[in-house]
Amino acid sequence: MLVIGCIHGNEADGMAIVDRLESIEVPDGVELWLVPTINPDGTAADIRHNASGVDLNRNFPVNWAPLAEPGDWQYGGPSAASEPETAATVALGELVQPSLVLWFHQDLYRISPARGLSGQVRERYAELTGLPLIEVTGGTYTGTASQWSRTVTVDTGVGFTVELGPSLSEDEAERHALAVVTVASEFVAG
C-alpha cells in the first residue's frame, strides 16, 4: 500500500497521518510505503502548487490534457509528468506496484463513492473514520494522481483520495492511521 500525505502544499494535514503510520504496528502481510509529501517546495511555502507553479494533481500522465495557464489554481503544467515531483512519484509507483494507493487532500471532508472493490474500500475507510461518502466536485479532473495511481496497482488495485476537513486533531490523525492499517489488512493482505 502506497500512502501519500500531501500533494498540494497548503493541504498538509495528511502528513500527520503518515507520521503516525511510521510508528504504528503493521500486521503481517501488509507493506506500507509512506511518502509525507510529493510537493516539498509547496509544503514549505504553504502554497498549492510546486515551485514552478504547477498543480501536481493535474500533471500525471493518465488522462492529462492542457489545463489552464500558469498562475491558475489548476494549471496542469506544459506536458504530462513534466514536473520532477510527478516523475519521481510515477517511478515510485511503477517500482512498488501497490495494491492500494491513498492520497490525502483537504478540506472538503469526504470520500467520493465508487462501485466494485474501490467502492468497498472507500466505504470501509469512511466507516472507520466517520467521513461521509459524497461526490467530490468543483474542478477539472485531468491528469489527477488518483486516476494515474489506478494504472500502477496490481490486479484489481484501488487508488483513491481522502478529503480531510480544514484541520486535523491528534485523535483524528490516529483514527486515520488505524483506518489505513485496517483497510490494508482487510483488502490488501486479506
Beta bridge partners of 159: 101
pLDDT of residue 74: 95
pLDDT recorded at residue 153: 87
Q: What is the per-residue pLDDT across 43-91, written as a single tens digit (0 to 9) for each?
A: 999 999 999 999 999 999 999 999 999 989 999 999 999 999 999 999 9
CATH of 2-189, one of 2.40.50.140, 3.40.630.10, 3.30.470.10, 3.20.20.140: 3.40.630.10
Beta-ladder partners of 161: 103
Rounded CA-CA distance 178/3 in Å is 13
The whole-number pLDDT of residue 129 equals 98
Q: How confident is the model at residue 175 (pLDDT cuts 50, 70, 90)?
A: very high
Give 87-137 pLDDT, tens digit per residue.
999 999 999 999 999 999 999 999 999 999 999 999 999 999 999 999 988
Tell me the C-alpha to C-alpha distance, in Å, between residue 150 and each of 70, 93, 121, 125, 159: 27, 10, 13, 17, 5
Instruction: List the domain boundaries for the chain.
Output: 2-189
Which residue bears the cell 497548503?
10
Range 150-159 average pLDDT: 84
Instruction: Name which of 66-80, 136-150, 168-182 the model is least confident about.
Output: 136-150
